Structure 1
């Protein structure tokens, strides 16, 4: 079940971020940005959504409009729930939100050392648009053109 996050979800969201991104600390040399994100602000702005399973936060997505596209700031699935299609469902949810807002694209980024994502996003229809350093992280930027489904 996908829904807008509530204040009661914040501990679960933080735990999900910690569990899903912990494996990247040795690669990056510090906590990845999602582990230190300001979820309180995202919640207050209505940018935070959760995938729920059995009353628990199984995953989440932070998304908001940025110019001509929907920007996915962060998407994660708790390792306990990985392999069940939740991550794909969260991205589908974001794509539907973009289309509902009349947007024709979705953009996101990943850390260059998160090599799994570098292979995943192109399989999901995202095209790499740039690489660069942002907020002290080496990032790879992706964009996916969207079309409304008949």
Structure 2
């Protein structure tokens, strides 16, 4: 099940982010930004949806919000390593894309670190096109966009 996050989900969301992104610390040379995000504020703002197990415990999440009049920003998506390969990330992305469509946005934008090579190959398979590469906050980021059909 995928639902909006609630304040009590914050510890599980943080644990999920740490477990999902820990593998990149050595590659990037520091903690990826999602490992230190203010999840409590993002939950309060209504920006997080969680994937939950049968006992309603989160094991994956997606963070998204309006970026401008036409674009939904998908800021973060993570699934615990134990749940990888089951299509949960794709379902979380679909929630972002469907919400964007329902709210009248015509595209979704996201970014990933250039060292996260698996993401660089996954996003194009999901219809995202690379649009930019730049350094922000000391991270080398690769931006992608997807135009949404009506």
**Which TM bucket (shorter chain)?**
over 0.9
- Corresponding residue for residue 143 of structure 1: 145
Deviations 1:25-77 (A, max 9, x none): 00000100000001011011110110111222120011000111100110000
Give ranges in structure 1 of 5+ residues lacking alignment: none
Q: When the two structures are superposed, what TM-score results if normalisation uses the length of structure 2?
A: 0.97
For 1:72, the equivalent position in structure 2 comes to 74
Name the SS for the 1:80 alignment partner: helix
For these two proteins, the number of residue pairs brought into alignment is 148
**For 1:118 and 1:71, how far apart are their aligned partners in 2?**
17
Give the SS at the match of 1:31. coil
Q: How many Å apart are 1:136 and its aligned residue?
A: 1.1
Alignment of 1:1-150 (within 5 A): 1-54=1-54, 55-67=56-68, 68-148=70-150
Query: Which 4+ stretches in 1 moved above 4 angstroms?
Result: none
Q: What SS does structure 2 have at the residue aligned with 1:22?
A: helix
- The residue matched to 2:62 in structure 1 has which SS? strand
Once residues 42 and 8 of structure 2 are traced to their aligned partners in structure 1, the CA distance between those partners, rounded to angstroms, is: 14
- Give the Cα separation in 1 of the matches to 2:137 and 2:92: 25
When the two structures are superposed, what TM-score results if normalisation uses the length of structure 1?
A: 0.97
